[in-house]
Amino acid sequence: MARIAFIGAGSVVFTKNLLGDILALPELHGVEIALHDIDPDRLATAEAMARYVARERGASPAISASVERRAALDGAEYVINMVQIGGHAATLLDFEIPARHGLRQTIADTLGIGGIFRGLRTADHMLALGREMAELCPRAWLLNYTNPMAMLCWLVYGGTPTRNVVGLCHSIQFTVEHLAKLVGVPGDEVTFLAAGLNHQAFVLRFERGGEDLYPLLDARIESDPELQRRVRVQLYRRLGYFPTESSEHAAEYCSWFMAHDDEIERHRIPVGEYIRRSEENLAEYERVKGSLERGDAMSLPRSNEYAASIIHSMETGRPSVVYGNVRNTGLLPGLPDDCCVEVPCLVDATGLHPVAVLDYPPELAALNRTFENPVELTVRAVLEERPELVRQAAMLDPNTAATLTLDEIDALCDELTLAHGDALPASLRSFGRAPGVPAVGVGSGAS
């Protein structure tokens, strides 16, 4: 039976959800579950959770746990990656230092200065993971859940021998469910097509039985002033296609919102939102750990994550369709080759097969390219060992560029480089500047 490695299994609640999905499928009751985390306490909690889920599902998987990543990877057919390198402490750096320089962020895990440095401090892990998979489980599929999605998937397939890489997210599923509720149509009656970049994809078709549901959505929005106070509704009204990512994410991927006090108030943008979520995650871990120790019952609702569907289709041959983040090999012609794009994928016993969306609207591709520019430069900074590309990625980030001057961006990059230190790839720990660019005061925006 298939061996599934959970890398970063100490993300216990997410581990519970994925295991609950996998072990709800009778054909997967006998899988091997290999858990890995570098934190022994979290690993022990993840193992207890795995055994609890197995009992509740009436399944009998073989469960192992190891602080050594290689032990978990050895012989795996599926590798689920869900790490957060640096944890809560690194998240605080990514928010507090930019805030001192006058740069506001909401989530900071995908784009912007926070996304760039989160990608950099996760880079060594991703490259090591890809190389170890090529050695220990060369036919395995990497199912990546870690952000920044587009950067990290690209790092693996662009910088290691591992090619079976797909990034998984729930933003498309949640968005379509949300839209169905807004227009009063049962979700199981909706058909749709979406494509773009992870966290900046769009619903291209939204239908029921061949009927276009967008007119119903338009009427719903026009009747509700509160709906109009959402960032992604404003993007939809101007671009004609509904964005698949939440407003708090979408606000920091553009230049039009975060730099303006009145726009933050008008669209109810939650500045610093991810700090609150990160603190809640820490508290939730302690709560779940306590429940396991006391033997409390926990609910195991099915989620809409794609990992279980992918594994089930590959193991049984029963086809399914998911949305995956994969290498752009002509799948979206308006975007650069090799960048990581989000498109529909057919999954069966032969693997995961992305579907090209050849008529992707040019206006969406144009917006995507402003997102993709800092993604590509961050990936190149790592793979080409060029620290100057880090600050150039920040220069081209829409929110950062709308808020800070070039000198301020230089100072911010210098301070974050110092703060993250050894967490960054060794080649990127220096202050990379193009010839003739003077040094600026590190931490000049600090109080």
Model confidence at 272: pLDDT above 60: yes
Residues 32, 62: contact at Cβ < 8 Å?
yes
CA distance 350 to 49: 32
374 falls within a domain: no
pLDDT above 70: percentage of residues in the chain: 96
When pLDDT is averaged across residues 177-189 and rounded to a whole number, the result is 97
Which domain, by its residues, includes 44? 3-167
Q: How many residues does the chain have?
A: 447
- The separation between CA 186 and the C-alpha centre of its own chain, rounded to angstroms, equals 27
Distance from first CA to last CA of the chain, Å, rounded? 58
Q: 247: closest CA among 306, 200, 279, 205?
A: 200
Phi-psi category of residue 357: left, alpha or beta, with phi > 0 → left and psi -120 to 50 → alpha: beta
Q: 36: closest CA among 23, 25, 24, 50?
A: 50
Residue 240: how many CA atoms within 13 Å on its side-chain side? 7
Model confidence at 447: pLDDT above 50: no
Residues 341, 196: contact at Cβ < 8 Å?
yes
When pLDDT is averaged across residues 318-344 and rounded to a whole number, the result is 98
139 falls within a domain: yes
- Three-state DSSP state, 415: helix
CA distance 231 to 247: 5
Virtual torsion, Cα 242, 257, 245, 187, nearest 10 deg:
-50
CA distance 391 to 394: 5
12 falls within a domain: yes
What residues are annotated to the active site? 170
444 falls within a domain: no
131 falls within a domain: yes
Model confidence at 396: pLDDT above 70: yes
Q: What is the pLDDT of residue 431?
A: 73
Q: What is the pLDDT of residue 186?
A: 97
- Classify residue 427 by burial, with Cβ atoms within 10 Å: 0-12, 13-18, 19+: middle
pLDDT one-digit tens code per residue, 196-254: 999 999 999 999 999 999 999 999 999 999 999 999 999 999 999 999 999 999 999 99
When pLDDT is averaged across residues 285-303 and rounded to a whole number, the result is 95
Summary mean pLDDT of the chain = 96
pLDDT one-digit tens code per residue, 44-74: 999 999 999 999 999 999 999 999 999 999 9
Contacts of the segment 203-211: beta carbons below 8 A, 24+ positions apart = 203/172, 203/175, 203/176, 203/179, 203/241, 203/242, 203/244, 204/241, 204/357, 204/360, 204/361, 206/176, 206/179, 206/242
Domain count, the chain: 1
Q: What is the pLDDT of residue 331?
A: 98
Q: What is the CATH number of the domain that holds 90?
A: 3.40.50.720
Helix (H) or strand (E) holding 311: helix 307-316
151 falls within a domain: yes
Q: 4: closest CA among 79, 62, 75?
A: 79
Helix (H) or strand (E) holding 98: helix 87-100
427 falls within a domain: no
338 falls within a domain: no
Q: What is the pLDDT of residue 440?
A: 57
Phi-psi category of residue 303: left, alpha or beta, with phi > 0 → left and psi -120 to 50 → alpha: beta
CA distance 336 to 85: 28
Local confidence band at 430 (pLDDT 50, 70, 90 cut-offs): confident
Model confidence at 144: pLDDT above 80: yes
